[in-house]
Amino acid sequence: MIMKTDYHIHTSLCDGKDLPEDIVKTAIEKGFGIIGFSGHGYTAFDNSYCMSLKDEAEYFNTITALKNKYKDKIKILCGIEQDYFEPKPMNNYDYVIGSVHYVKVDGEYIPIDESKEVFKALISDNFGGDFEALAKVYFESVGNLLNEVEADIIGHFDLITKFNEVLNICETEKYLNYAFSAVQKLIPAQKPFEINVGAMTRGYKKSPYPSEKILKEINRLGGKIIITGDCHNKEWLGAYFEQAKELAKKCGFKTALYLTENGFEEYCL
C-alpha cells in the first residue's frame, strides 16, 4: 500500500490556518510518509492571500529547518504554488504547483475563487452574464500555464467551477471544448494534473477538481495525475483522498504519482 502523501498544503504564512510545525505534527499523527508545503507565492497586484516577500523568505527557511528537525519521522518537501500572472518564485523550491487564480480584464486582475459574490459580479459585469465567455478567457490562460510558470504540477485545472454548485452553473458543450483545448495544450509536457479535493473540504463542491468529464479526457490523452488536498486546515489532512482515488479509477486511471526527493514515482490505484 502506498504511503500517505500530500503536496498542496498552505500555512498561516499565507491563507492557511496553522503554523507549519503544527501541520507537521498532525501529519505524523495521521501516518503521513511525505508532505509538501506549497505556500502561495508573492503576487504584486494582490496581497490578500499570498505570502509577502518577507513571509516567503521566512517560509522557505522555516520549512527547511523542519525538514531537518523531523527527518527521522516524516519526509518534508518545500514547494510553492505560483500563479500564472506572477510566474517567478524567489527561491529554489523542491517543486512548483502552477495555478491560475485570476482573469485579466482591461488591465485588472480579478480573482475567480475569492467568493461567490465576486465571481457572480465578474460574470455579470465583465462578461455580460456569459459564463462560457469567462471560461474561454480562463482556459486560454490555463492552456498557456506551462509557458509562463516552470511548474511541476498543474494545480486545480478547473478552479473556475469552485462556485458552480452554489450558483447552478453547468458544464456545457462549449465550456468543455474550451477545457479540452487547454488539456490538449498541456498534455505534451507530461506534467501531472492534480486531483484536488480542496473545494470539498471547504464545503463548496461534492467532487474534486477536475470534473469527471475532464479527467476522462486527460486519461484518454495519456495524462498523469497526483492526488492533493489543497489543505488550509491541519484537521483536513487526508480528507476525501479515498473518494478522489475512486473517481480516478472511474475515469480510467490505473496509476497515480507521488513525489519524492528524487522525483515522481508511480503507484497503482
CATH number at residue 233: 3.20.20.140
Residue the block writes with cell 473517481: 247
Share of residues in the chain with pLDDT > 70 (%): 99
**pLDDT for 88 beyond 90:** no
How does DSSP classify residue 37?
E
Which of 144, 145, 112, 143 minimizes the C-alpha distance to 127? 112
Query: Over 80: is that where the pLDDT of 24 sits?
Result: yes
Mean pLDDT on 186-194: 98
Cβ proximity of 157 and 117 under 8 Å: no
Residue 117 scores a pLDDT above 60: yes
Q: What is the mean pLDDT of the chain?
A: 96
* pLDDT surpasses 70 at 1: no
| Conformation bin of residue 173: beta by default, left when phi > 0, alpha when psi is -120 to 50 | alpha
49-70 per-position pLDDT tens digit: 999 999 999 999 999 999 999 9
The total number of structural domains that make up the chain: 1
Q: Containing domain of residue 76, as a range?
A: 4-268
Question: Do the Cβ atoms of 11 and 39 come closer than 8 Å?
Answer: yes
Quick one: 156 exposed, middle or buried, by C-beta within 10 A (0-12, 13-18, 19+)? buried
Q: Give the DSSP letter string of 78-97.
A: EEEEEETTS---SS--SEEE
Q: What is the pLDDT of residues 72-84, one digit of tens each?
A: 999 999 999 999 9
The x, y and z cell numbers of residue 96, run together, are: 512548483
What does the pLDDT look like over 150-176, one tens digit per residue?
Answer: 999 999 999 999 999 999 999 999 999
The angle subtended at Cα 116 by Cα 50 and Cα 98, nearest 5°, is 40
Mean local confidence (pLDDT), 111-119:
97
